[in-house]
Each structure stands twice: as structure tokens, then as C-alpha cells.
Amino acid sequence: MSDEEQDIVLAELSDEELTLQMHDDLYDGLKEEIEEGVNILLGRGWQPYDVLTKALVEGMRVVGIDFRDGILFVPEVLLAANAMKGGMAILKPLLAATGAPRMGRMVIGTVKGDIHDIGKNLVTMMMEGAGFEVHDLGINNPVENYLEALAEQETDILGMSALLTTTMPYMKVVIDTMIEQGIRDEYVVMVGGAPLNEEFAKAIGADAYCRDAAVAVETATDFMTRKHNQMSA
């Protein structure tokens, strides 16, 4: 960061300048600056939902694009995510209290035998940023965990993640169990993780393969839009 940039006082920026600066700060993974920016915008009377979408989600969208294009790599994305997490921690309680739009509910977890959660955590955060309520089951989930969580509350989407070639077949176990229990068609099943691909997702009977968090949000949003259109038709 240059000396000129270090001299920026966030509180002195206009709303538009501050929003753009927060996009830059997210890109650079500056958590404290993001937390400060969120508090400044809230102090100026911004709705929490507007802070989330215009400052944080838009900033992460740029991070996602540059990750996909090979300009940013995993460490930079994690730093950006960590910064966004700081902002989300402030906004989350306020979002519920102010009646922010709710897109749908998702249950997500890493499958049995797998402890990798970086991608899943990114998806969780981006889905929450897009207005989804997410029940994150964490890592190493047997099929029972998924089914219990789906049954707990009305849920629209099941997300499963795996990093290992050896654990990704377990996704089929979950889907097959859902078929056996006659509940498969009640949910949209999205899968993701480094060794997965479109062919695998189709072969196991998932509805969508999501190669990154941004695609997961796009896919989930698209499914929910179609669902709402079908219900209102």
C-alpha cells in the first residue's frame, strides 16, 4: 500500500468514495478497515442490507471474478473473506432485526471422512451475503446429519463439499438416501470441491456443480427465482 493510501481517513470520504474504498480494502484483505467502513456507513443511516450488498458483496464479487481469472489466488481470497467476515459479524444481527430480504434456506456441510472446509466456508459466507439463511453443519458429516438438518426447518437447498477424490463419492450416498426416503425432489442439491466436475455431479444425481462460491450464489439464486416464478404462475 502506498503512503498516499495510508493517509486515507475513511470517515472523511463521501458515501460513494467510501464504498469504492471498501471494495479496495476487501480486495486487499483489510479486516479492520472493513469493520470501520461498515460502522461508518451504519452511522450515516445506511440500512444494513445496503451496506452488505453495496459495500461487501459487490467487493467480494470483484474478488471472485479475479480469482476465477487467475489474477488472485487462494491466500488473497481467504484474506478478503476474513475481512468480509469481520463486516458480516457486525451486520448479521442487524440484518435479522431490520427485515432484510430472505432468498431461501440452505443446509451445507463437508461430507463424511473429509475435514476440508475452506471452500464450504466461502460458499456459506457468500450465500449469507446474498440473503440466504445457511445452516452450516461443518466437516465430516454422515448422511444422518444432512437429513436431520433438512427436516429441522423448511429448506430449499442442500450443499455438499469435498476436497478429496476418496470422499467425494459419499455425496452419492447422501443423494441415494434422499431418493430412498422419497425426499430428493424437495430440494435443490448443489455440490462443489476441487476434484469435482460437471460429469461427476450429473453422475451422482446432483442438480448442479458449483466450481466456486460465486457460481454457487448464482446457481442458488437462479433456482430460487425459478421456484418463486413456478409458485406464482
Partner 1 sequence: MANQPSGVPVDDTTLTEQGLNAPAAPAAGRVLLLACGALAREVLALKAANGWDHMDLTCLPANLHLYPEKITNAVEAAVHKHRASYDDIYVLYADCGTGGLLKAKCAELGVEMLQGPHCYSFFEGNANFAAHDDEITAFYLTDFLVRQFDAFVWKPMGLDRHPELLSMYFGNYTKLVYQAQIEDPTLKIQAEACAERLGLAFEYRFTGYGDLKDALASKAASDRAG
Q: Cα separation of 74 and 28, whole Å? A: 13
Nearer to partner 1, 105 or 112 (CB): 112
State the CB neighbour count (10 A cutoff) for residue 50.
15
Per-residue contact string for residues 197-216; x = within reach of partner 1 by CB under 8 A: x--x----------------
As measured in angstroms, the least distance from the Cβ of 114 to partner 1 is: 7
Q: Are 111 and 170 contacting, i.e. CB atoms less than 8 angstroms apart?
A: yes
Among 18, 26, 51, 79, binds partner 1 (CB under 8 A): 79
CA-wise closest residue to 55 among 40, 77, 70: 40
DSSP state letter for 11: G
Q: Please, which residue, 78 or 90, has the CB nearer to partner 1?
A: 78
The residues in 32-71 that bind partner 1, with binding defined as CB under 8 A, are none
What whole-number distance in Å separates Cα of residue 157 and Cα of residue 100? Answer: 20
Identity of the residue, 146 or 170, whose beta carbon is nearer to partner 1 in the bound complex: 170
Residues 128-167 as x/- pattern, contact with partner 1 by CB under 8 A: -----------xx-----------------------xxx-
Q: Is residue 118 within the footprint of partner 1 (CB under 8 A)?
A: yes
Burial class (CB in 10 A: 0-12, 13-18, 19+), 160: buried
